[in-house]
Amino acid sequence: MNILEGIKVVDVTAWAFVPSAGGVLAHWGADVIKVESPKAPDPMRLMGGSLEPGQSSNTFKHYSRGKRSIAIDLSQEEGRELLYRLVEDADVFLTSYLAPTRRKLGIDVEDIRKINPRIVYARGSGHGPKGPDADRPGYDALSWWSRGSLNQSAMDLTGLDWPTNGMVGHGDGMSGLVFAGGICAALLKRERGGEPLVVDSSLLGTAAWFNGTALIGNHMGMGRREPGPAKRPPLPEGIPADMISATRSIYQTGDYRFVYLLFLGDDPRDYRDLCERIGRPDLVNDPRFAEVKDRTTNSLELQTILEKVFASNTLAHWKEALGEARGAWTFVQTPEELLEDPQVTANGYVGHVDYPGGGLDAPAPAIMFDEDAGQLPRAPDFAEHSGEILAELGCDDAEVERLRQGGVIV
């Protein structure tokens, strides 16, 4: 397919959401050059795969097919200079790295625009470029599925009393497809003589759009049970216990809400920070859990301890305690809560539309251009613009009236 033939994309991304956008652009014919660190390749390659030729994980193969690959150490000056040479004639710079890392590596908007002022700069994140959690890590199971209210909506519709993490991956692929469309819109704007744009998309913003019918109240809360004690479902048949990770699990709070930990990579600093924040520093050096291998071997035992800890206090308490935690986490949010989420408000993911019969709060499309999600227009009344559109076709008032009398138009 050659729809985007001649478009060059420099892809400095990792994991799934933003890489999948690059994969879509490559499928449509763009030359997408994936840049990875020689010391730390895209982790998605290694989740069930290796660096041996043809042995990357199936998920990596799915989201990054069609790209060309180069390994450059961007922490070295010579490495950055090589990247800048790639950028010189590129049309799109695509990245999943958050602002602190972009600044550290010299790949933020200002750095790239110095090299190529006409480039479309596209950045994807968990929670959007604005707001208190703009620089928090985010994954689809957290930012899209759980904080984005889809997990709660699924519980409402199915009658389940415990959230699921079984939708992992769905948000990445769907959000990447949306992001690729936004990038193409920015390219069209530039090709028609407009200024090059910064394009933002996020998992949280895409979740708001996808769960729009719940947010506008068509079935908000339909089937929802009163919060109450819930039992963790058993492992699916055939799944060994050592597949469970206590720091990649869902926990019920004392007021029957749910906290979701997703500490990918098993960084010991994340575990230490968690133990201190939940008031259990003794777990750091507990010989059962001191090392990653120990926590893996004794994962169910650690999970049982953490269940009691989280059940000892309310969601409000844990939101405050974990607010600046190193590891990725979230809580299972309702559609009603999503409307008031500080990240949703800061990024304009939901707006208000005025109608004669009353207003409506509704999600905006999950793309921001130059950090602007745009004002939400209202939907038209039936045949509201018939005369206006026919006038644009050259029909005078007499012809419009004749067509109306003949029943051709309304």
Q: Could you tell me the strand order of the sheet in which 8-12 lies?
A: 68-71, 31-36, 8-12, 92-95, 120-125, 198-202, 368-369
Query: pLDDT per residue over 236-247, tens digit each?
Result: 787 776 678 999
Supply the pLDDT for residue 221.
56
Q: CA separation (Å) from 273 to 96, 269, 301, 326, 398?
A: 24, 6, 19, 7, 76
Query: What pLDDT band is residue 227 in, cutting at 50, 70 and 90?
Result: confident
**In contact, 31 and 9? CB cutoff 8 Å:** yes
Question: Can you give the pLDDT at residue 167?
Answer: 63
Q: Residue type for 218, please?
A: N
Q: Is the pLDDT of residue 218 over 70?
A: no
Pick 189 or 355 by higher pLDDT: 189
Q: How far is residue 350's CA from residue 148's CA, in Å, rounded to a whole number?
A: 12
Residue type (1 letter), 247: T
Listed residue (258, 130, 272, 263) closest to 204, CA to CA: 130
> DSSP label at 243?
G
Q: Please name the amino acid found at residue 194.
A: G
Average pLDDT, the chain: 94
Q: Residue range 317-337: average pLDDT? A: 96
User: Taking each helix axis from N to C terminus, what angle separates 17-27 and 170-191, rounded to the nearest 10 degrees?
Assistant: 50
Which stretches of 259-371 are DSSP H helices? 268-277, 292-297, 299-310, 315-321, 335-339, 342-347
User: Nearest Cα to 64, choosing from 12, 114, 26, 113?
Assistant: 26
Q: Picking from 2-11, 182-191, 290-299, which range would have the lowest pLDDT averaged per residue?
A: 290-299
Q: What's the whole-number mean pLDDT along residues 292-321?
A: 96
CA-CA distance, 256 to 173, in Å (whole number)?
31
Residue 357 has a pLDDT of 81
Residue 137: which residues within 8 A CB-CB, separation 6 or more? 98, 126, 327, 328
**Confidence at residue 96, expressed as pLDDT on a 0 to 100 scale:** 98
Rounded distance between C-alpha atoms, residue 332 and residue 32, angstroms: 36
Using alpha carbons, list the distances in angstroms from residue 397 to 173, 384, 387, 405: 50, 16, 8, 12
| Sequence-separated (6 or more) residues with CB below 8 Å from residue 60 | 19, 42, 44, 45, 47, 49
Give the pLDDT confidence score for residue 224 in this predicted structure: 72
Average pLDDT of span 119-131: 98
Is pLDDT above 60 for 233? yes
Q: What is the pLDDT of residues 335-375, one digit of tens each?
A: 999 999 999 999 999 999 999 888 889 999 999 999 999 99
Kindly report the backbone phi and psi dihedral angles of residue 396, in degrees, each rounded to the nearest multiple of 5, phi listed first.
Answer: -85, 175
Q: pLDDT at position 126, please? A: 97
- How far from the centroid of its chain's Cα atoms is residue 222's Cα? 26
| CATH 3.30.70.1140 matches 225-333 | no
Q: CA 35, CA 392: separation in Å to the nearest integer?
A: 49
Q: Which of 168, 131, 134 is nearest to 150 (CA)?
A: 168
- Which distant-in-sequence residues (6+ apart) come within 8 Å of 345 by Cβ? 131
Q: Are 331 and 257 in contact (CB under 8 A)?
A: yes
pLDDT for the residue numbered 110: 98
Q: CA-CA distances (angstroms) from residue 92 to 8, 148, 186, 293?
A: 6, 28, 10, 41
Q: Which residues pair with 198 in a beta bridge?
A: 121
Residues 6+ apart with CB under 8 A from 410: 382, 383, 386, 404
Decide if pLDDT at 219 tops 80.
no
Q: Can you tell me the distance from the alpha carbon of 352 to that of 8, in angstroms, rounded to the nearest whole number? A: 38
Cβ neighbours, 10 Å, residue 408: 9
The model carries a pTM of 0.94
Residue pair 94/21 in contact (Cβ under 8 Å)? The answer is yes
Q: Is 8-210 assigned to CATH 3.40.50.10540?
A: yes
Predicted pLDDT at 19: 98
Q: Report helix, strand and coil shares of the chain as percent, to nearest 5.
A: 40, 10, 50
pLDDT of res. 223: 61
Residues 6+ apart with CB under 8 A from 83: 10, 12, 35, 72, 74, 107
* DSSP character at residue 56: S
Q: Where are the domains of the chain?
A: 8-210, 225-333, 383-410
**Do 22 and 8 contact (CB within 8 A), yes or no?**
no
Rounded-to-integer distance, Cα 243 and Cα 6, Å: 45
